[in-house]
Structure 1
Amino acid sequence: MDDMRYADPDLCPDCRSDLPHGVRSCPTCSLPVRHALAIELFSTLQHADTLVDRLRSLSNGATVPSAARTTTGLVPPGPVATAPTRPAAPAAPAAPVPPRPAAPVPPPPPAAKPAGPAAPYPTPPRSGLGVAIIPKILLGLGAFCLLAAAIGFLAVAWDDIGVGGRTAVLLTLTAAATGGSLLLNRFELRIAAESMSVVALGMLGLDVIGAHAAGWFGDSSTGWAVATGGAVMALGGTGMALPRFGDGPRLVAPQVFVGVGYLIAWGGLLAAMDHPLVSGHALVVLGAVVTWLSRTALPVRAWSVGIATAVVWSATALLGVGHAFADPTTAGLWIDGAGWSLVASAATLLAPGLVLKRRDLTVGGASVGALLVTIALVAPAVDESARIAGAVTLAVTAAWVAAYRLLPTTLRTVALAPAAIGSLALLGFDAVAGIVVLARIAEVGPDSPFGVVLREPDPATEPLLTVPSVLVPLALLALLVPQRADGRSAPWWQTGAVVGGVAAVATLASYDVALALVVAALGVVAIGSLVLGLVADGTRQTSFGLVALGIGATGIVLALPSTPIVAVASGILLGMAMIAHFVGRTTELRGVAAVTLSPALAALVWTAGLANDVDARWLGVPLLLLLGVLAIARPRLQVEVPAVLVALVAVPPAIFAADDAGGSLALHLVVLGALLSASALIHESRRELAWAAVPVFALASWVWFGDRGVTAPEPYTLPIAADLTLLGLIHLQRKPDAGTEAALLPGLLLGTVPSLLWVLDDPVSLRALFLGGACLVLTIAGAALRWSAPLMVGSVVGAIVVLREIGPYAGDVPQWVWIGLAGALLTTVGITWERRLLEIRNAVGLLGRLR
């Protein structure tokens, strides 16, 4: 029976009879055995065989205890179930079985996938919280509630139970929590033991608080009580973590609370002692020793105390830096101890690398230690003037940058931290110098002359240190940037030239010099950056070119107090933008330069005109012409869109400054329309601008007529109507099959309907005569050309004009005349209608005879 399998390729899965090799269906029962469903059934039977084998192995190796566990698990209590018995093959029938009708041969099935490993026992789908997390949550909340209950009980009954009662309650609760934690750990209830250990350590803290409230610490400050509580918590955590029952692990929560108690003790010592630096260094040494001793037996305590020690060391080092700068005298540093504290903190950093024999830790600690020693040595310069402090910082930082360059690669990290922090300090000095320069320029009043001089406020730092204070951090950055993949070094000397040039301009502006000289010097730096970009390729060209344009724009901003100087700065920016746009070889540089052209041109025109006492009302047309010529010369969106936006901002002030604002607006609209028409005629890609030029011209005429007091509609409507009609005729010439309604109707209606409204009010006038004649011409032309639009407009508008003309005389005609005219009209229409129907009948009859 052990040899029988559910998945037997030699037996039919239905009747269990023998299957010949290569057949598609069972010869006995005609079951298709090569179908896809048969292949799926065979895989399922293979999995069943695997499950049976596993159940058999469990049954063969079962013992009495395992059988007992089985009855409490998946199988109900009772006799142990045996492996299922395979069904025996049925005997051959006595009488021959009639064959079943043959089924059509199915296509060859796909190859069966190889059976994979047996699937594990099915498990119920997991939803919500896992089983293991539930006791953690419950026990954590339970521990919190126990601590809260203890605190609440003591708060309520503190004054009633006396000192002895307090002591007894606290000690009893502490001992119970401690013993319960150890007992639970003994019986392998880890989560409960961890929770009770937290309660025990919390009760230890309450014990110390109670002792302090009872006066056991005498007249000492609260800081000593806090320090004692932290020490007790650390010692208690160590004591609870040491016991280990059998091969089980030690408790984790007490080891974590060792570090917490360490930090609490340090906080108490800070409040209790007058020398926080001394207590900090002592605890750092203690923490390092505890971490080293705990690394094997109590690794969690080692990590906890190590992290706490790092926190204490960082705080102590920062306190030392603060003390060093708060009292940067020699006595304050080396007698009161701040300098020695920094040296001790630096020396402490070398211990981890030396003890663990790791070069990376040693070099990293030496780098931060070098920074602390450098602060201790440089701090006395802070007590002097800002110029001396800047000079000392520059010298020390330059020395560390040089050391980074000269030291071997494995030791360069030692110089990195002091060089980086010193570079940041130098950039801070540069920022202060830049702010002072901006303040000096802001002190210059508006509308200042070309030769205005910068005089105050006085510089806060040494101006001569500005350039080296920028170049030293740049040198460090050049050393930190890795070598390029192609082996070529980055162009740091070019970057240094541009950055140093800007710093030199800031140095120049720190002295009493003319603002024009400062702006001109900044322009020279911008031109130099552009030249460096144009001689380069790719990204470098784009970068230096954009920096040049940015520096040029900054020059305009700095020159704002003086209009003539703004004109100079605008001319420099415009020239650079034109060079970058026409000579640049990168798309990005050319695009940004194209966007810059219009604003720079507008600034140049306005400021140059105002500087030469040109009235603002005369600047709008030249500016509009120049912007239009620029857009026509460079028909690109990067030029055209900024030109339109600049025109919308810069031209209206000239219109408003004119004595006749309406006439000035009309003039500017005519110029704009001419520019649009010129662009449409010159550039085939801008033909659509002609449609925009037409309404602009019309608007210009309307503004001019309105400014002159013209109220008749024809001057406003006829120009546009003529243009629309002309465009419609051109459209009909190009597309003879197009309809006249869409091509001619808008222009004809605009040319006739407004005049018709005036004729209705004043029928006996010269306007009525001309309108009637025009309608007659339209009607005849429409009928001759067979165009519906002019025929319809001419006949309808003409009829309305005629009716309005005979209206005053209609009352003098006898009523029978109107009745007779109506009858004659109706009779004529009826006769015509009947005649047309007769003609249609005759035509239909003729077609019928033709058939």
Structure 2
Amino acid sequence: MPAAVSWTTLPGMTNIPPPAEELRILDLELRRIDARRTQLLQRRAWLLGALQAAAAPAPAPPRPVRAPEAAPPNVQNALLTLGGILLTIAAIAFTLVSWGHLGIGGRSAVLAAVTLTALGVPALLLRRKLRSTAETVAALGLALTVLDAYALHVVALPQADTLGYTAAASAVLAALWAGYGLAFRELRLPLPLAVATAQLPLFLWARAADAGDHATAAALLATAAFDVAVALRVGDPGVRVIATVGACAAGLWGAMAAGYLSWSATDLPDAARAGALLLLAASIALVAAWLITQPPQATGAAFAGGLLVTAAAGGVLREALPAAWTVPGYLACAVALLAVVRTALPRPVQRGIAGSALLVQALAALWTLPAFVTALLGPASWAAKAWSGAPSDTGDALAVPELPAQHPVMASLVLATVAGVLFAAARLLPAAAEQPGEPPSGQAPATPAAPPAEPAAEPGSGPGSGPAGHPATKASAQPPLPDVTISGALALTWAALLILPSALQLPYAFGVSAYVALSAALLAVASRVRSKAVAFTSLVLAVTSSVSVALLALATTAATLGTLGALTALFLAATVLAARRREATPGVAPVAACATVAYAAALVCATGTAWNLRPEHVGLLMLVVPALGALAAARLGRHPLTPPVEITGAVAGAIAVALTMGHATTFALALALGGVIAAGTALRTDRRPVGYAAGALFLLATWVRLAAWGVETPEAYTLPVTVPALVIGALRRRHTPETSSWTAYGPGLAATLLPSLVAAWSDAHWQRPLLLGTAALLITLAGARHRLQAPLALGGTVLALDALHELAPYIVQVVDVLPRWLPPALAGLLLLAIGATYEQRLRDARRVRDVLGRMR
């Protein structure tokens, strides 16, 4: 290519560009060529890369890098620990094996030098910041001090008592290690080891001196006191953990030993000495609770202290008072301990002590369980020996004459005391629940404060939002704590009063009257209080005590009638009172109404039995109760008491009818009377469905009467069902024309046709099949006339089966006369005929199906 392009005049050219224009054209052409070259070079580089990637092998996956399994500090600690263990083993081996090859001076020099070296080297190591190595060497030095003490006992003091020498050596070692740890505070091992070793001296000294069980327990408690002081005053975590564990172990061991000594004491001085030990343990626990800053731990320590104080005082009272006063004595101490709630002690300490007192009271109440169960369930034994004669007293009536009289009395006293404490707690709980610094309930603060600013309203917290998440709403779903406490106190008071008549050996009549009065008082409380918890508790206790006294009254006829009459009147009065009071608990009146009907039925039954009536006559007499219940329900109307009265009356009626089952005629009469009562109930607009029960009772009464007369004809039993059923079906189709004939007439027709058909097939006479066939024919014609599917199908089926039954003997005779080959031949011809006219038969079957389908 030439260096320059010259434009020359050629033939035919008429336009030659000037030099400037030519230069511009060349520049444009060169830029176009450069751009194309750059594009081609990029494409070439991409193609080379693709070819190299296809030809080169796939790169190997990167190898996983394993993390070191042990960090350098862990490796260092492991090596140091292993080295210290090996050195300690070597020192022990030297002391036990090679000791005899040296003289006394050599032995002393070697041990002293090695021990002092091991104890002094950590100082140099700590200056060089080698703390882990210093810890290992210090541990070796501490182990050598133990070997020094052992060597000293073997060589210099071989005649010394082993326990005594161990106690002295452990005390000296604990002091030396404590001083060493205080001198080198950077070492973490000496001080915890000193505290752990300090657990041994006092206990070993007491055992070595044969000081007795009391001194041993005192030594343990003194060790626990030392541990508590260390745990509360020392800030080192390791020392505090060791001291806390030691305090718990030594304190628990010492307290248990002191408690055993108190329980096994045989005289007052022994009990006093054991009580002093228990008070020492209690003081340690209470001081710890006072000084501990964490509330849970403080409450636990105070709880243990309260139990120990109660055990100490109760053990002394147990020896000073008669044996029957043992549990009341402990209970009195626990009640006195509750006085701490009115003191200025910290709140966690108050809670712990009060909790221990309540635990003792709960155990005391549990001690009364045998006497309570005997008083509650003892009357049940009279169910098997009713009206056998009045016992001498209430204790004899409960079959508990073998129990000492003071035990039931003490049980009643204990329950009454615990109930009094709960009543007092119910009054004190609101005040105790107030936070410190708040004014008591009902008082205004001394200095009025500005009302707090209301927080900004959150989404969904406006007037339209539900209040389910509000704390007050959640709290209102549960009964307040004072109500629950009062309920518990009421239950304990009831238990105490239940035991008291048998405990005091009251006369039988007075005991029964006392139990009836107790039920009346409980019903009065249930009817008048506003608290749901208290009302429910009172109602349950009233029903329970009423059942117990009703059983207890079975001893004599007069007591039974009088008690049942009184209970009926009491529950009726409670029903009326609770129903009229707007503030009464909703469930009281229905339960009282049910109990009224139940006791009224029991009274009628007992009255009939007292008149020497037979059981079936007693059942007829008991039907008065459901009749009166039905009248009362009709009088109440749509009152909430109506369902309970009706249900309980129905149960009483069922029991009355069951009593008459032994005599068929009376049974039929009872069923008819029950049907009358049910029919009267069905007259009410809201009780129309009871009419079905009335019809069933009337039908059962008819069947029972027929059975009593010896009637065996099934139509006598089925026609009383068929006729009313067909009438009801006709009335229903009149009011509801779209009702199916199977619903309206099917049950009534089947009730007679099917049993009659079964009877006709086993009947050898001709009257029943003739009558059944005639009836079935009439029913079939009626179904065809009125285009009703059920009468047509049932009537036709029964008619065909009845005719088959009548023709069966003749068919049998014909079959016997015909040759053996004729039936198979006839069957074959029939099958051929059906096959030849198969489509026509299908059309006929469809036509019959459509005709039946158009019927109702």
Partner Cα distance (2:547, 2:79) in 1: 63
1:512 is paired with a residue whose SS is coil
Residues 600-641 of structure 1: CA distance to partner in whole angstroms, max 9, x if unpaired? Answer: 455545555555654444444444663575478278665566
Residues 14-42 of structure 1: CA distance to partner in whole angstroms, max 9, x if unpaired? Answer: xxxxxxxxxxxxxxxxxxxxxxxxxxxxx
1:287 is paired with a residue whose SS is helix
Verify the 8 A CA contact 1:201 1:236 in the aligned structure 2: no
Residues 235-255 of structure 1: CA distance to partner in whole angstroms, max 9, x if unpaired? Answer: 79868966869xxx653x776
The verdict on how the C-alpha distance between 1:625 and 1:353 changes in structure 2, with shifts beyond 3 A counting, is closer
The verdict on how the C-alpha distance between 1:790 and 1:318 changes in structure 2, with shifts beyond 3 A counting, is same
What TM-score results when the alignment is normalised by the length of structure 2? 0.60
Partner Cα distance (1:217, 1:495) in 2: 68
Q: 1:717-756 to 2 correspondence within 5 Å?
A: 717-756=718-757
The verdict on how the C-alpha distance between 1:612 and 1:312 changes in structure 2, with shifts beyond 3 A counting, is farther
Question: Hey, what does 2:8 align to over in structure 1?
Answer: none
The verdict on how the C-alpha distance between 1:637 and 1:173 changes in structure 2, with shifts beyond 3 A counting, is farther
**Distance apart, 1:260 and its partner CA:** 5.1
In the alignment, structure 2 segments of 5+ residues that lack a partner are 1-29, 36-66, 102-106, 435-440, 444-479, 634-639, 819-828, 848-856
The verdict on how the C-alpha distance between 1:738 and 1:341 changes in structure 2, with shifts beyond 3 A counting, is closer
The verdict on how the C-alpha distance between 1:544 and 1:789 changes in structure 2, with shifts beyond 3 A counting, is closer
Question: Hey, what does 2:462 align to over in structure 1?
Answer: none
Q: 1:414-493 to 2 correspondence within 5 Å?
A: 435-436=370-371, 439=374, 446=382, 447=385, 448-450=388-390, 452-453=392-393, 454-455=395-396, 456=401, 457-461=403-407, 465=413, 469-470=417-418, 472-478=420-426, 480-483=428-431, 487=442
Question: Hey, what does 1:381 align to over in structure 2?
Answer: 317
Verify the 8 A CA contact 2:255 2:278 in the aligned structure 1: yes
**Distance apart, 1:737 and its partner CA:** 1.9
Residues 492-543 of structure 1: CA distance to partner in whole angstroms, max 9, x if unpaired? Answer: 9999788656534533321222344223223323322332343332436634
Question: Hey, what does 1:626 align to over in structure 2?
Answer: 625
1:759 is paired with a residue whose SS is helix
**Distance apart, 1:385 and its partner CA:** 0.9
The verdict on how the C-alpha distance between 1:696 and 1:533 changes in structure 2, with shifts beyond 3 A counting, is closer
Give the alignment's Cα RMSD to 1 decimal: 6.4
The verdict on how the C-alpha distance between 1:747 and 1:136 changes in structure 2, with shifts beyond 3 A counting, is farther
Partner Cα distance (1:728, 1:145) in 2: 105
Q: 1:588-599 to 2 correspondence within 5 Å?
A: 588-593=587-592, 596=595, 599=598
Verify the 8 A CA contact 1:741 1:788 in the aligned structure 2: yes
1:276 is paired with a residue whose SS is helix
Residues 626-682 of structure 1: CA distance to partner in whole angstroms, max 9, x if unpaired? Answer: 35754782786655666667777x569736xx654x666655555555555444443
The verdict on how the C-alpha distance between 1:612 and 1:663 changes in structure 2, with shifts beyond 3 A counting, is closer
Partner Cα distance (2:121, 2:154) in 1: 27
Partner Cα distance (2:747, 2:807) in 1: 29
Partner Cα distance (2:133, 2:653) in 1: 79
Verify the 8 A CA contact 2:292 2:298 in the aligned structure 1: no
Question: Hey, what does 1:654 align to over in structure 2?
Answer: 659
Verify the 8 A CA contact 1:290 1:302 in the aligned structure 2: yes
Verify the 8 A CA contact 2:516 2:563 in the aligned structure 1: yes
The verdict on how the C-alpha distance between 1:759 and 1:205 changes in structure 2, with shifts beyond 3 A counting, is farther
More deviation, 426-435/301-310: 426-435
Question: Hey, what does 2:217 align to over in structure 1?
Answer: 277
More deviation, 805-814/582-591: 805-814
Q: 1:91-490 to 2 correspondence within 5 Å?
A: 220=161, 250-251=187-188, 261=197, 272=208, 273-274=210-211, 275-291=215-231, 295-296=234-235, 298-327=236-265, 329-333=267-271, 337-348=273-284, 376=312, 379-383=315-319, 384-386=321-323, 435-436=370-371, 439=374, 446=382, 447=385, 448-450=388-390, 452-453=392-393, 454-455=395-396, 456=401, 457-461=403-407, 465=413, 469-470=417-418, 472-478=420-426, 480-483=428-431, 487=442
Query: Which amino acid letter does the alignment assign opposite residue 506 of structure 1?
Result: I
Question: Hey, what does 2:586 align to over in structure 1?
Answer: 587
Query: Which amino acid letter does the alignment assign opposite residue 587 of structure 2?
Result: E
Partner Cα distance (2:547, 2:138) in 1: 67
**Distance apart, 1:794 and its partner CA:** 2.8
The verdict on how the C-alpha distance between 1:521 and 1:443 changes in structure 2, with shifts beyond 3 A counting, is closer
Q: 1:792-807 to 2 correspondence within 5 Å?
A: 792-805=793-806
How many residues were matched structurally?
Answer: 687
**Distance apart, 1:287 and its partner CA:** 2.6
Verify the 8 A CA contact 2:318 2:329 in the aligned structure 1: no
Partner Cα distance (1:381, 1:542) in 2: 39
Question: Hey, what does 1:559 align to over in structure 2?
Answer: 552
The verdict on how the C-alpha distance between 1:284 and 1:396 changes in structure 2, with shifts beyond 3 A counting, is closer
Partner Cα distance (2:181, 2:295) in 1: 33
* Identity fraction in percent: 22
Residues 94-150 of structure 1: CA distance to partner in whole angstroms, max 9, x if unpaired? Answer: 78x9xxxxxxxxxxxxxxxxxxxxxxxxxxxxxxx99899998999999899999x9
What TM-score results when the alignment is normalised by the length of structure 1? 0.61
Partner Cα distance (2:666, 2:68) in 1: 82
Residues 790-847 of structure 1: CA distance to partner in whole angstroms, max 9, x if unpaired? Answer: 23333343344345445656779999xxxxxx99xx9xxx9xx99x99xx9xxxxxxx
Residues 334-390 of structure 1: CA distance to partner in whole angstroms, max 9, x if unpaired? Answer: 5xx334434544554575588899999999999987876675555443123145557
Residues 265-316 of structure 1: CA distance to partner in whole angstroms, max 9, x if unpaired? Answer: 6775676553213312431343345446x624x3430343144224423443
Q: Which has the higher contact order (CA 8 A, sep 6+)?
A: 2
Verify the 8 A CA contact 1:328 1:379 in the aligned structure 2: no
Question: Hey, what does 1:520 align to over in structure 2?
Answer: 513
Partner Cα distance (2:390, 2:344) in 1: 55
**Distance apart, 1:767 and its partner CA:** 1.8
Query: Which amino acid letter does the alignment assign opposite residue 789 of structure 2?
Result: S
Verify the 8 A CA contact 1:370 1:414 in the aligned structure 2: no
Residues 750-769 of structure 1: CA distance to partner in whole angstroms, max 9, x if unpaired? Answer: 32122123333447532223
Partner Cα distance (1:303, 1:321) in 2: 27
The verdict on how the C-alpha distance between 1:338 and 1:400 changes in structure 2, with shifts beyond 3 A counting, is closer
1:559 is paired with a residue whose SS is helix
Query: Which amino acid letter does the alignment assign opposite residue 743 of structure 1?
Result: A
Question: Hey, what does 1:101 align to over in structure 2?
Answer: none
**Distance apart, 1:329 and its partner CA:** 3.3
Partner Cα distance (1:133, 1:707) in 2: 101
**Distance apart, 1:208 and its partner CA:** 9.5
Question: Hey, what does 1:112 align to over in structure 2?
Answer: none
Question: Hey, what does 1:119 align to over in structure 2?
Answer: none
Verify the 8 A CA contact 2:221 2:281 in the aligned structure 1: yes
Partner Cα distance (1:807, 1:773) in 2: 18
Question: Hey, what does 1:78 align to over in structure 2?
Answer: none
Partner Cα distance (2:675, 2:807) in 1: 44
Query: Which amino acid letter does the alignment assign opposite residue 749 of structure 1?
Result: A
Verify the 8 A CA contact 2:721 2:748 in the aligned structure 1: yes
Q: 1:509-548 to 2 correspondence within 5 Å?
A: 509-539=502-532, 542-543=535-536, 545-548=538-541
The verdict on how the C-alpha distance between 1:587 and 1:179 changes in structure 2, with shifts beyond 3 A counting, is farther
Query: Which amino acid letter does the alignment assign opposite residue 338 of structure 1?
Result: A
Partner Cα distance (1:611, 1:187) in 2: 108
The verdict on how the C-alpha distance between 1:385 and 1:795 changes in structure 2, with shifts beyond 3 A counting, is same
